[in-house]
Amino acid sequence: MNQQDDRILLAHIQDFVKRGAYRSFTAFLDQRQYLLAKAECRAGTYRFFGGYPDAQRGILCIHPEDLPPTDEEYPISCLTFTFPEAYRITHRDVLGAMMAQQIQRDTIGDILVTSGRVQCFVTGAAAIVGLNLTKIGKVGVKVTDAVPFANDYSQNIKERSGTVSSPRLDAILRTALNQGRGQCLVMIRSGIVTLNYQEVLQPDKILKAGDVFSVRGHGKFRLKEVGEPTKKGRLPIIIEQFL
């Protein structure tokens, strides 16, 4: 999302806030957009929900303080695709199949994939398109919007460990990506690195356990643990990569 898109989003949020007595729902927002948007809202007058608890993409509702929306009032449908377990479908496959039908990204929320099943949260036209899909990639699928969200998904995670002299962003990236310091500095300064869903351009930014960072083209990570200094003064770290 570029700065022009950000300005448009904020203009919409400011308009929603001015309405005051009305409920207003955005399209699906990612975590960065959500953080940007909620800064314009007063506490108790907004709610972010993506179809299930802890959704990464969700719809922000601006509402009167005494009238928050229920889960059921959000304009979200859950599509369930099933296919033979012998085949493999990825998040990218599902998103590609939907967007190939000229569907806008902001009509699609989280896409959760498990063996033989995908559940995808959508709004509006994306629901209509999704219900008419018979193939995702080369795999035949059946789809329905009548199956409740299963809530039995587990995030695949790969752990990486190492030691750093300091929990600086550039040092953490070297361990996460197995790249040289120079390459990590280029990534940071080119604006493709985010920390807690915000762009970060400072290589010396200090991270703490629990911080989430991502690098465009390389994935999403979390600094799981920062240990006590070793005898040589280095800090052992554990990084989780979300697969």
Residues 69, 81 within the same domain = no
Q: Which tens digits make up the pLDDT trace of 206-216? A: 999 999 999 99
pLDDT band, very low/low/confident/very high, at 152 (cuts 50, 70, 90) = confident
Residues 81, 68 within the same domain = no
Give dist(CA 177, CA 154) in Å, integer. Answer: 23
Task: Kindly state the average pLDDT of the residues 148-176.
Answer: 91
Overall domain count for the chain: 3
Task: Tell me whether residue 152 is in a domain.
Answer: no
Please tell me which residue, 115 or 21, carries the higher pLDDT value: 115
Within 10 angstroms of residue 18's Cβ, the number of other Cβ atoms is: 10
Beta bridge partners of 160: 239
Q: What is the pLDDT of residue 2?
A: 65
Last residue of a domain, one of 73, 93, 120: 73
pLDDT band, very low/low/confident/very high, at 122 (cuts 50, 70, 90) = very high
Q: What is the pLDDT of residue 243?
A: 76
Q: Tell me the CATH number at 24.
A: 3.30.1370.160
Q: Which tens digits make up the pLDDT trace of 42-83? A: 889 999 999 998 899 999 999 998 899 999 999 999 999 999
Best CA proximity match to 116, nearest among 159, 137, 86, 144:
86
Sign of CA dihedral 161, 187, 180, 218: positive
Residues 162, 225 within the same domain = yes
pLDDT at 224 over 90: yes
Residues 229, 168 within the same domain = yes
Task: Tell me whether residue 82 is in a domain.
Answer: yes
pTM recorded for the entire structure: 0.79
Task: Kindly state the average pLDDT of the residues 95-101.
Answer: 94
Task: Tell me whether residue 207 is in a domain.
Answer: yes
Residues 201, 178 within the same domain = yes
Q: Give the three-state DSSP class for 185.
A: helix
Q: What is the pLDDT of residue 226?
A: 96
Q: Tell me the CATH number at 93.
A: 3.30.70.330
Average pLDDT, the chain: 92
Q: What is the pLDDT of residue 135?
A: 95
What residues make up the domain containing 58?
Answer: 3-73
Please tell me which residue, 16 or 237, carries the higher pLDDT value: 237
CB within 8 A of 114, min separation 6: which ones?
A: 150, 152, 153
Task: Tell me whether residue 151 is in a domain.
Answer: no
